[in-house]
Amino acid sequence: MTAPDLPVSVTPLAAILQRGRWRLRDLHADPNPALYVFTRGQGRVFVDGKTRGLTGPCYLYIPARATTRFAFPVQVFGTKLSFTPEIAEALPQTALLLRNPTGAVQADLAWMLARIEAEGRSGTEDASDAISACGRLLALEIARLHRQDGAPLWATSKSERLVAEFMGLIEADLAERPSNQPSVAGYAERLGITPTHLTRVCQSVAGTGASALLQDRVLSEARWRLADTPNPVHQIADALGYGSAAYFARSYGARMGQPPSADRLALRRG
């Protein structure tokens, strides 16, 4: 495992799952782009309006701030590589799933991953520079594979693109500070469609309605902030657009099974 402040950080999936399966299962959006290397196991991933199956060995690239959710019914093995902004510029803006990679591609990617891990363990003065160089080479390879895949748009159908736009608006609001509690009606208006149509499309693409997707994303963001920041519950509620901490607590408890304060304690205990 490499340090998170290096140009490319490497984390085994087992270490992420040990901190809480919810970190992959809940709707989330990493601030930095990531490459998931799945070596064994199977599951499914939802990324910005598209759901696809995963069976190792395969490679999944996810751009920054892309709404993501994994489902792993069986044990899965692999690694997550996160890229800092200095390398992110060379990476694609849409996701890529590389199934059944050729032996040559697997060998090239495995070599780059091994070099990044080795430099991260070395602790030498120039380790960061070496990792940056390897990271840029890896980013170039991902961009090439993305172009060769022949489908630069991850969400290809009209419905998938609409859900991707919907999730993109949610992420933009979460990255900034929503002025008030976001609503499906408000997002539908911004998309130029009716709330009914947005709900119908989300149900067909994601298997759940627009309201449930919105609530799941906002409350999962709250869970991340409860687990990873010292911010008081009322500040988290306010930052996510809830006008009342009590209303936030009720909504959170109904979705997560216990109030935010109790869940924070449980999350930190692991």
The domains located in the chain, with CATH, are 8-148 (2.60.120.280), 158-269 (1.10.10.60)
Structure token digits, residue 168:
């993109």
Maximal C-alpha separation, the chain: 58
Q: Which of 239, 193, 195, 238 is nearest to 213 (CA)?
A: 195
The structure tokens 């919105």 sit at: 214
pLDDT of residue 153: 58
C-alpha 49/C-alpha 12 separation (Å) is: 26
Q: What is the pLDDT along the chain (270 residues), one digit of tens a residue?
A: 676 678 999 999 999 998 899 999 999 999 999 999 999 999 999 998 889 999 989 999 999 999 999 999 888 999 999 999 989 889 998 899 998 888 898 999 999 999 999 999 998 999 999 999 999 999 999 999 988 865 555 767 899 999 999 999 999 999 887 667 789 999 999 999 999 999 999 999 999 999 999 999 999 999 999 999 999 999 999 999 888 899 999 999 999 999 999 999 999 886
pLDDT of residue 82: 96
pTM comes to 0.91
pLDDT of residue 261: 96
Helix (H, G, I), strand (E, B) or coil at 176: coil
Q: Which of 214, 217, 95 is nearest to 161 (CA)?
A: 95
